[in-house]
């Protein structure tokens, strides 16, 4: 089978300031004297896995396990401290929907801004403008600055832009559940249509029932490390048992 995503030896480390600094001036003074002390936080450690083309691959784990960090690395939003990610095809990241929006610009202006950030041409965005507007169901609000939008309205617009061009790889985070039940059902139906058409999907959810329903294989992350990769039912069962012990 053809590989769609290949993650090799990926690690993500952050330096956290281990002491309190009360002002910017104090920070620069301490930094110039090399008195700033850091402690290292390892968000991900030596992650290796691959996803086949057309596969729906699930990622599960407790809060803080590193799931969202891994998705951002695979989407190309952030770079890993170590390792490489190889993506074969176009990517639509449905994570932090509307993260690249500008609150001072209108919905229409943000469609162009976000579309360009996703790598689409201005010509393509213009040709898809009506489709995005229709799917978002925001009507006249598209001519209003985004600072007046609710989080649900921003999520609607972000989803409508991200999915207007069917990607080769779809990255879906739990954050997608923002918004009213009608739009949630509509967006889930669109994702299912993409899955049926052979789009590769990385799927993160706290709903083990939903993961088992959609995914054949699952990866369980725990404190930034791979605990297990295998068939969905088996991995979800082991994860559930481990949660009950804790």
How many angstroms separate the CA atoms of 206 and 81, rounded?
27
Mean pLDDT of 171-198: 79
pLDDT band at 74 (very low <50, low <70, confident <90, very high): very high
Lowest mean per-residue pLDDT among 87-101, 139-153, 159-173: 87-101
DSSP for 109-159, please give it: HHHHHHHHHTT--HHHHHHHHHHHHHHHT-GGGGGSBGGG--HHHHHHHHH
Is the pTM higher than 0.95?
Answer: no
List, for residues 85-132, the tens digit of each pLDDT value: 999 998 888 877 666 789 999 999 999 998 888 888 999 999 999 999
Helix 107-117 and helix 122-136: axis angle, to 10°? 130
Characterize 175-199 residue by residue with b for buried, 16 or more Cβ atoms within 10 angstroms of its Cβ, and e for exposed.
bbebbeeebbeebeeebeebbeeeb
Mean pLDDT of 173-194: 76
Taking the CA atoms of residue 167, residue 169, residue 174 and residue 180 in that order, the dihedral angle to the nearest 10 degrees is 20
Contact 136, 142 (CB under 8 A): yes
Contact 82, 9 (CB under 8 A): yes
Q: Which CATH superfamily is domain 3-90+167-245 in?
A: P-loop containing nucleotide triphosphate hydrolases (3.40.50.300)
pLDDT of residue 61: 94
How many angstroms separate the CA atoms of 122 and 120, rounded?
7
> Does the structure show a pLDDT above 70 at 36?
no
Contact 40, 15 (CB under 8 A): yes
> What is the residue extent of each domain of the chain?
3-90+167-245, 97-166
């Amino acid at each position: 089978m053809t590989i769609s995503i290949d993650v090799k030896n990926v690690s993500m480390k952050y330096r956290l300031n281990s002491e309190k600094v009360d002002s910017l001036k104090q920070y620069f003074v301490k930094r110039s004297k090399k008195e700033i002390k850091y402690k290292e936080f390892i968000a991900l450690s030596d992650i290796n896995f691959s996803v086949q083309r057309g596969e729906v691959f699930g990622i599960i784990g407790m809060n803080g396990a590193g799931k969202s960090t891994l998705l951002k690395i695979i989407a190309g939003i952030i770079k890993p401290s170590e390792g490489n990610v190889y993506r074969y095809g176009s990517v639509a990241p449905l994570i932090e929907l509307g993260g690249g929006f500008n609150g001072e610009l209108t919905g229409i202006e943000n469609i162009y801004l976000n579309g360009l950030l996703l790598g689409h041409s201005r010509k393509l965005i213009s040709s898809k403008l009506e489709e995005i507007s229709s799917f978002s169901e925001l009507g006249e609000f598209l001519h209003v600055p985004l600072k007046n939008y609710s989080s649900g309205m921003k999520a609607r617009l972000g989803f409508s832009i991200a999915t207007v061009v069917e990607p080769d790889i779809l990255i879906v985070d739990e954050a997608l559940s923002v918004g009213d039940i009608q739009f949630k059902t509509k967006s889930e139906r669109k994702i299912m249509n993409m899955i049926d058409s052979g789009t590769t999907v990385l799927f993160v959810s706290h709903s083990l029932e939903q993961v088992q329903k959609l995914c054949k294989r699952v990866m369980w992350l725990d404190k930034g490390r791979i605990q297990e990769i295998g068939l969905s039912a088996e991995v979800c069962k082991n994860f559930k048992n481990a949660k009950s012990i804790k």
